[in-house]
Amino acid sequence: MDYEIKQQDKFKYIEEGNGEPLVLLHGLFGALSNFKDLIEYFRQHYKVVVPMLPLLEMDILHTSVGGLAKFVHKFLEAKNYEGVHLLGNSLGGHVALVHTLKHPQRIKSLILTGSSGLFENGMGDSYPKRGDYEYIKKKTELTFYDPNTATKELVDEVYSITNNRMKAIKIIALAKSAIRNNLGEELNQIKQPTLLIWGNNDIITPPFVAQEFNKLIPNSELHFVDKCGHAPMMEVPDAFNEILHKFLKKQSEPATVS
């Protein structure tokens, strides 16, 4: 399904459905297609919002996790959303964490899946020479438990980004910024209920990373999904949506007085 891309000031975004805002932040090579099943399911229950993160449009000085977190803050302010459920995958999870630590006021709950912020195996030092399609194909396949999830369309998309010199420099800058920006010391300050949904076969942010997040974020719950890699919302959408919906319903229940 094609969604209308709306524009307000410098912000481009998708906004589907009504209710509490569920804001989705994609990762380094992320695109709208990553959230297709999630949008379709949750637009019936929530206002699902996907801001287009300017990963490759920011000037090189601000091409960082912090720069993206500032962008998200300005977007939420411009839209004046309240009681936001903020969900991030991979680098998007990292941005969601930094935003929530700096500006917790609008955030009702936090959802992380395959998030960086503690540890990740990225493209790293083995970043390829431009034009190496096979290398990009293999790297993209490593995102998933089932390599067939990396469709030709997806590989082509990643290849076209890495094959552009300026875009490749910005991707490396973001990846390095994510590695430098370790949040281990600060995670205990997060007060929001936090849901961690992780693939048991994630080799980019392996399961021990999820366990560490779970240990460090006070009010967090962790769910592992089998036969699943770094992007559960793409690879096992039904299981992902079920876990997420249960968690979100819990956030709307009135608190019981003991």
Domains parsed from the chain with CATH numbers: 6-121+182-252 (3.40.50.1820)
- Over the stretch 76-109, which tens digit does the pLDDT of each residue have? 999 999 999 999 999 999 999 999 999 999 999 9
Model confidence, pTM? 0.93
Integer Rg of the chain from CA:
17
Q: Is the pLDDT of residue 189 over 70?
A: yes
pLDDT reported for residue 125: 45
- Over the stretch 12-66, which tens digit does the pLDDT of each residue have? 999 999 999 999 999 888 777 789 999 999 999 999 999 999 988 888 888 899 9
DSSP string, the chain: -----EEETTEEEEEESSSSEEEEE--TT--GGGGHHHHHHHTTTSEEEEE---TTTS-GGG-SHHHHHHHHHHHHHHHT--SEEEEEETHHHHHHHHHHHH-GGGEEEEEEES--SS----SGGGPPPTT-HHHHHHHHHTTSSSGGGS-HHHHHHHHHHHTSHHHHHHHHHHHHHHHH---TTTGGG--S-EEEEEETT-SSS-HHHHHHHHHHSTTEEEEEESS--S-HHHHSHHHHHHHHHHHHHHHHSPPPP-
Average pLDDT, the chain: 91
